[in-house]
Amino acid sequence: MGIFDKFKDQAQDKAKDISDALTEEVNEKTGDRYADKVAEAEQQADDRLGVDDDKPGRPEK
């Protein structure tokens, strides 16, 4: 694994952490009324950012 791969992995991990935090905050503020829409939006954002939930070492939700 090259140095750029390491940076890419770190950036993707950070992006997923931010995405998870935003999802949690939005659901908290809306009382989970839009949880399905928020989950869908999070999945679309993760897909566009190239974030992989199944990556080894990633904690389960």
The structure tokens listed for 2 are: 């090259």
Residues ≥6 apart with Cβ < 8 Å to 9: none
pTM exceeding 0.85? no
Residues ≥6 apart with Cβ < 8 Å to 31: none
Other Cβ atoms within 10 Å of 45 Cβ, number: 16
Give dist(CA 13, CA 6) in Å, integer.
11
12-61 pLDDT, tens digit each: 899 899 999 999 999 999 999 999 999 999 999 888 888 876 655 555 54
The structure tokens listed for 41 are: 């939006």
